[in-house]
Structure 1
Amino acid sequence: MRTYRYRAYPNAEQRENLARTFGCARWVYNWGLERRTNAYYGEGKSLTYNSLAVELTQLKKQEETRWLGEVSAVVLQQSLRNLERAFTNFFEKRAGYPSFKRKSGKQSATYASSAFRFDPKAMTLTLAKQKTPLKIRWSRKPEGEVVKVTVTLDPSGRYHVCLHCRCKVEPLPPADPGGKTGKSVGVDLGLNDVVVTSEGFHSGNPKHLRRAYRRLRRVQKALSRKQKGSNNWEKQRRKVARIHARIADRRSDFIHKLTTDLVKNHDVIAVESLAVKNMMKNRHLARSISGAAWGEIVRQLEYKCEWYGRTLIKVDRWFPSSKRCSACGHVRETMSLGVRRWTCEECGTEHQRDENAAENILAVGATVAACGDLSKTRAAGDV
């Protein structure tokens, strides 16, 4: 499954229909969450998607909630499926307990294959309960079969259309022209440079949040002076949301280009697995760590390597990559974060901290790959 995201510009009639659809989808999600929570804690039983779908059908016949029939029934069913997925992620410890959706947050509605018409030749998309196609800026043509469509409205007022396509992704050719040995690289994640590789590449750190911080602080202070719920408050809230959206877009663009370049040019990528959630507890570095988005970098490397036939090796977080000399293997007892260059006490080799760490990560990754077990990296790091 591959998702293509485009900017959409609905007209007044379509905006009204989408607003009604967003509201109904959000209401059904919150209703289902409340029903499941009360049933578990009050009655001691667990409700599933099928039982809630039956209740929803009866609910639409009642006078008080007859307005649910004004939107596509497929969208309401997809809301219950999204709730089911949220509970599955919670039970499998991939996420926290599902929370209620807010009207002021990001709005979304998912249309299954029976609730939209997509013409790949004319490049038009028509949603259920709408007479005319949406105006969409097609930045590129989607590949594969479109099985679902998700329309979103972010807090800054931008509409986007996401096409979920089922397609076959061809593996990339070997990075080495000979195709025999392949190219391997070790990746060290940091703050001065988001990514430093064993080849000596330094990505730098754009620090998108820090660059926009003064302006963001100014508009947020102006928002705090407005009366909540007023028209001026809503206008100022949009200004704040636009700055946040710009920061998120620029960060996403930087990470996508960086990870794609790594995957295209290397057959094997070794990266350290960091406990980002625990590191965020450091109040002095939390903002910088959040802006670096280490977790998102590793996530993108994972699925892109899986798509294009590359190998990703995660090195244990406790491996002393920074304190260990990549030339002789000597490990220093202590090294503060302020030390950027150091000389090995045993062999006299001078190291740049991050490049040395990347070389050690590459060496451990090569050892793990040679042993044939990509999951036990701590034992390999002690070799």
Structure 2
Amino acid sequence: MIKATKVRIYPTPDQAEFLNRQFGAVRFAYNKALHIISSQYKRHGTKLKAKALQQACINLDKAFQSFFDPKLPARYPKFKRKHGKQSSYHCTSVSCGDDWIKIPKMGPIKARIHRQLEGNLTSITLSRTVTGEYYASLLHDDGVAAPVLIHDLDANQVLGLDMGLTHLAIDSSGNKTPNPRFLKKVSANLRRKQKSLFRCQKGSKGRAKARLKLAKAHQRLANARADFQHKLSRMIVDENQAVIVETLKVKNMLKNKKLSRHIADAGWSGLIQKLEYKAKEQGKHLIKIDRWFASSKTCSCCGHKLEALSLNVRDWQCPSCSTQHNRDINAALNIRAQGILKLKAAGLSVSANGGKRKTSHALAAA
């Protein structure tokens, strides 16, 4: 399998100056190619190939391919900002050790290698965050074949997940994970730092310091959300053989002005993305069901479908079988049932004779 490990690096002042010049050159190549292709597209409506240039322009070419692909909702490429995140790609003459990495034309850079790297190192992508921190993403081939997907599944280890706002994730076993609401907790601090930045004069040293403080606050917020999602997704994948989720169109949901802030804070797409690659790494399944499936207003017992169900109704009784439902748990059960049908349609075996599963908490206690 091809795996990537992101590590923190600590370049010396001279090395940092070299990297910043390199980031600037990469940004210039990308922006220049974008200017040329944009002019051609606006004047003649045609697309130019950018593969003759180096990696920055290869990335630009991929961005244009996504833009011209009707199946992908990609936006038109934008110019890279000097004060935004910077990166550069290196695939030749790269190496790493216990506490260093090496790229062409530069001596070893101090690094914190927090996990053992197995296999052959194929490339290193260096990056600099808005807060001035440097990172290196090490791509290596471990030489081990990717795990074969599990063919015979235990129905007791197939989990349906419904995403929400009050509770971030509700599973078909009735467990509810509260929404941490990271943005809400730090909104007052972000607002205060944003106002401080707005009051500073453009181009002043005070504005540069205020912008750095605001960027660090946003970075702490993003790190806290990512850490929570990594831990939650790891627990879910370790305890199940298949995870069933809805296909969410978050971009359309963000058009709701009343809920857009809360939806963005929940980070559903990030959680599903982490579930997907963690499941693939272990040979397990992540199934996405049709986004038009009415999971909330369909009875999980008899299949009766309500004509309408308001968002503020959290509990309802089925008029056909009189079963009392919790909206979210009922949706998770329906998502699980649809996922099992999809697994069986793919030729997989889903048996209900596996008995009750043991969670990782129980195993740890034992």
Tell me the TM-score range normalised by the shorter chain. 0.7 to 0.9
Give me the whole-angstrom Cα distance separating, in 2, the residues matched to 1:173 and 1:48: 37
Change (3 A) 1:352 1:230: same
Give 3-state SS (helix, strand or coil) of 1:203's partner: strand
Contact 2:126 2:134 in 1 (8 A): yes
User: 1:101: how far off?
Assistant: 0.4
1:344 to 297, 307, 318: 318
Larger RCO of the pair (alpha carbons < 8 Å, separation 6+)? 2
Change (3 A) 1:181 1:50: closer
Residues 1:294 and 2:268 are matched in the alignment: yes
Contact 1:187 1:271 in 2 (8 A): yes
Amino acid paired to 1:89: S
RMSD: 2.4
The equivalent of 2:75 in structure 1 is 96
2:133 to 158, 161, 164: 158
User: 1:33: how far off?
Assistant: 1.1
Identity within the alignment, %: 40
1:113 to 92, 103, 107: 92
Unmatched runs of 5 consecutive residues or more in structure 1: 54-76, 375-383
Residues 1:204 and 2:204 are matched in the alignment: no
Change (3 A) 1:79 1:173: closer
Query: What pairs with 1:241-252 in structure 2 (closer than 5 Å)?
Result: 241-252=215-226
Give me the whole-angstrom Cα distance separating, in 2, the residues matched to 1:324 and 1:373: 26
Give 3-state SS (helix, strand or coil) of 1:185's partner: strand
Give me the whole-angstrom Cα distance separating, in 2, the residues matched to 1:266 and 1:206: 23
Query: What pairs with 1:1-383 in structure 2 (closer than 5 Å)?
Result: 1-42=2-43, 46-51=47-52, 53=53, 77-93=54-70, 94=72, 95-114=74-93, 116-119=94-97, 122-131=98-107, 133-167=108-142, 168=144, 171=147, 183-372=157-346
Change (3 A) 1:35 1:340: same
Contact 1:323 1:335 in 2 (8 A): yes
User: 1:341: how far off?
Assistant: 2.1
User: 1:260: how far off?
Assistant: 2.1
Shifted more, 206-215 versus 331-340: the winner is: 331-340
The equivalent of 1:73 in structure 2 is none
Give 3-state SS (helix, strand or coil) of 1:336's partner: coil
Give me the whole-angstrom Cα distance separating, in 2, the residues matched to 1:291 and 1:189: 13
Give 3-state SS (helix, strand or coil) of 2:109's partner: coil
TM-score by length of 1: 0.83
Q: How many residues align?
A: 344
Change (3 A) 1:172 1:240: farther
Contact 1:30 1:100 in 2 (8 A): yes
Give me the whole-angstrom Cα distance separating, in 2, the residues matched to 1:372 and 1:173: 12
Contact 2:51 2:61 in 1 (8 A): no
Unmatched runs of 5 consecutive residues or more in structure 2: 349-366
Contact 1:78 1:110 in 2 (8 A): yes
Amino acid paired to 1:253: D
